[in-house]
Amino acid sequence: MPAAPPDSYAFVMNIKGLGAASFELGPGFHLRRATADEIIEIKKTLNTLPVSDIAGSLFSFPNLWERPWPHGNQLPATPLPAAEWRYFVIASPSPCQPLLWQLCEILDLVPTELEVGFMRTYHPSPPLPPEAAKIISDLARRFPNLVGGALTFEPDRLFQFIRQSHQTERLFVEIGREQAEQIAHIRSLTQQNDAKLIDFNGYISQLSALKGLPRDSPLRFLGYFALLEALLTHAPVPTDPYDSITRQIKKKLTLLERRLLYPIDYSGFSAEKHERIWAKMYDYRSKVAHGGKPNFTNEHKLLKSHECALNLVRETAKAVITQALREPQLILDLREC
């Protein structure tokens, strides 16, 4: 009888601490530290991915998970003890590729986002003749960078994460019971999703694709707006000044705010009314879409910076997509009104 395959897993790149030995994110799925064998495999995989030559020139892969932060331009000379390395995985008994992939997709929706570098899944192998088993064993010894299992990753997202990781520690997060329960809850919502009402998979795929763009890219900023508009707005009536896209977004977000599972955080924008903030956001959007340059010391001072504006539109898009999972008919009705 062939041996059971090892756990399938997704390597989570941006965890700096876990509040327990493991957290269950759904039946059979556990967020935990990587085992010693998984760490060896993760390091081999990172060094053989197509992005490693480019990203490696910006930052040596192991330094992200084996040395203290912040890095800056000067790498600390002393690595962390192996017990403190930050290799974490979402693991599940093999085989489970579709279910693990679905779980990884919703990690972009939770308030504390997790960044998956790659996913490796295993399947039971039929017994091999002794001669074939010996050949495979010899190849593994001669070429130690060869790793087993099916590999899935998104090169654009991986590259952007590596590119940003040496610039800010904010990408790395602590995960406790609250964050784990949020992931498990959103996953349970996706299991109940009615694709006939709203194409959730389409929205989450678009949300994921935007992370393949640099954070300072105008296209990424506009992409989050496009998601928000697709969820909440209809084509405006040209002769009706009260039916503009801007007014629709402002009014519909006001109606939604008390119902959102994770409320939109406006704390960084002083005590301004939310409608005024979104009016400025749309002015900024228009400026970006038409090739203009925003002025954060004057006309766009309320928004403070591109980063603040990007965070607001991203978190709002996430909140509305999540609400679409909870109340799809409500979102459909809002879109048409």
Q: What is the pLDDT of residues 34-51, one digit of tens each?
A: 999 999 999 888 888 765
Name the residue type at position 259.
R
- Among the ranges 31-35, 260-264, 283-287, which has the highest mean pLDDT value? 31-35
Cis peptide preceding 70, ω within 30 of 0: yes
Q: Are residues 26 and 139 in the same domain?
A: yes
Q: Are residues 183 and 88 in the same domain?
A: yes
Q: What is the pLDDT of residues 53-87, one digit of tens each?
A: 554 444 455 567 888 765 544 555 578 899 999 99
In terms of C-beta distances under 8 Å and separation of at least 24 residues, what long-range contacts does 197-204 make, across chains too?
197/328, 197/329, 197/332, 198/324, 198/328, 198/331, 198/332, 200/321, 200/324, 200/325, 201/105, 203/227, 203/230, 203/231, 203/321, 203/324, 204/105, 204/106, 204/108, 204/109, 204/321
> Band of the pLDDT at 137, cuts 50, 70, 90?
low
Q: Are residues 326 and 258 in the same domain?
A: yes
Q: Are residues 175 and 235 in the same domain?
A: no
Residue 201: per-residue pLDDT: 85
Q: Are residues 133 and 252 in the same domain?
A: no
Q: Identify the domain containing residue 219 by its residue range.
A: 194-336
Residue 57: per-residue pLDDT: 46
Domain count, the chain: 2
Q: Are residues 275 and 171 in the same domain?
A: no
Q: What is the pLDDT of residues 183-242, one digit of tens each?
A: 999 999 988 877 778 888 889 999 999 999 998 899 999 999 999 999 999 988 877 777
